[in-house]
Amino acid sequence: MGAFLGVNIDHVATVRQARYAKNASSINVEPDPVEAALAAERGGAIGITAHLRQDRRHVVDRDIFRLKEAIVTKLNLEMGNSPEIVAIALKVLPADVCLVPESREEVTTEGGLDCVTHRTTLEPTLKAMRDAGIRVSLFIDPEPDQIAAAVALGAPVVELHTGAYAEASGAAREAELVRLIEAARLATDAGIQVNAGHGLNYTNVGPILTLPQLVELNIGHSIVARALFVGLEQATREMVECLRF
């Protein structure tokens, strides 16, 4: 029982943008998401996740190219299925991309990608990524129809959206955990790797480790929040300890 940790550094970029939104590509701004990524790697992260949004509200293009060059683990590029961002991904060539829904009104990703409704628009993107040697993960709600759509699309990985679990309590949380476990079982039975993430922190992550054949958890906000007090390397190390096999 356990999982590997990918650290999402978006919120480091959010702090930078609070002051330097108009010149985020300058070399003299701080904090630097690349330095954060290197600290997370030293703390035991097996990958770095960054979401390049269409509105560039936190991570910007230069960050993605610099991350690809600087990190020694792997880059997981979160992205919406837009032609502009797809083209950037095919230039950067990250190890992984995670396709997520994207709304300009949301503060952070609020739900899973609807692979049933958007299957025809997702198919060419998955093919392009596959042809470029990029592994694709689909960020989906833990629903049987979404797992079936991921199978039909030939996705090698799904990342199960844990937001409903993280926001619930008591019996409702237990029900969400069961839903996640059942979705993970469906995915693994179909030969798809299971990752998970969203809203996970040091206190609620333990039960998620019961998901069958869980491989990776991608966690950002909680680690960056903890880093304010202990530093990002130590905050990452503490989360790695929570996920130990």
User: Token pair for residue 214?
Assistant: 């869980």
Contact assessment for residue 50 and residue 74, using Cβ atoms and an 8 Å cutoff: no
Nearest to 68 by CA among 42, 44, 48: 48
Cross-strand bridge partners of residue 110: none
Contact assessment for residue 240 and residue 9, using Cβ atoms and an 8 Å cutoff: no
Residues with a catalytic annotation lie at 51, 78, 198
Q: What does residue 38 show for φ and ψ, rounded to 5 degrees?
A: -65, -40
Handedness of CA 205, 208, 213, 215 (dihedral sign): negative
| CA gap 225, 234 in Å, rounded | 12
- The strand ranges marked E within 52-207 are 75-79, 96-99, 135-140, 157-161, 193-197
